[in-house]
Amino acid sequence: AAEAAAAAAVPAAQAAEDTSTILYTSGTTGDPKGVVLSAKNQLASAAGCLLLDPAFDGNDTATCAYFHEGTYVSYLPLAHSFELCMQLVVLACGSAIGFYQGDVRKLVHEDLPALRPTLFPGVPRVFARIHEKVRQGVESKGWVTARIFAAGLRAGCRGCLR
């Protein structure tokens, strides 16, 4: 009887096309709906995220150099498709995930110093908000600070493009 119960507790193997997750959209472009993702969908998304790895050599495998032994800060909603993808990649590459407290006002001043992330991927909307806050802060310091900041930003951007 114990053997039968133990055998029943073992989950069946999942096929690539089996439903793995249902993510619900926010409804920004229509009615909210559930998007059914298979294991194959999720693995394809994770493989796409691995393309962010600068050590990726174009073959079917990546080295995980970018994601390996780092700390990723999770601040997007856990139901967000990019967040799910990043968590899969980070865990597969052997890194840690630090979760923010849930209050975006504490993210920069409390969570980031405590978690000390080495990985901070995000979505364009988040980076646009960060850029706007920084721009407002710099402009409030006067034109000299704004010019120095702009010169530093240009130099940094040139370095990123190399």
pLDDT digits (tens, 9 = 90+) for 10-62: 777 888 898 888 888 777 777 878 888 998 998 888 888 777 666 666 665 55
Q: Where are the beta strands (DSSP E) in 16-136?
A: 19-24, 34-38, 71-74, 96-99
Interhelix angle 39-50/81-92, nearest 10 degrees: 70
The one-character DSSP state at 26 is -
> In the prediction, which pLDDT does 58 show?
60
* Dist CA 40 CA 62 (whole Å): 18
The reply to whether the predicted model has a pTM over 0.95 is no
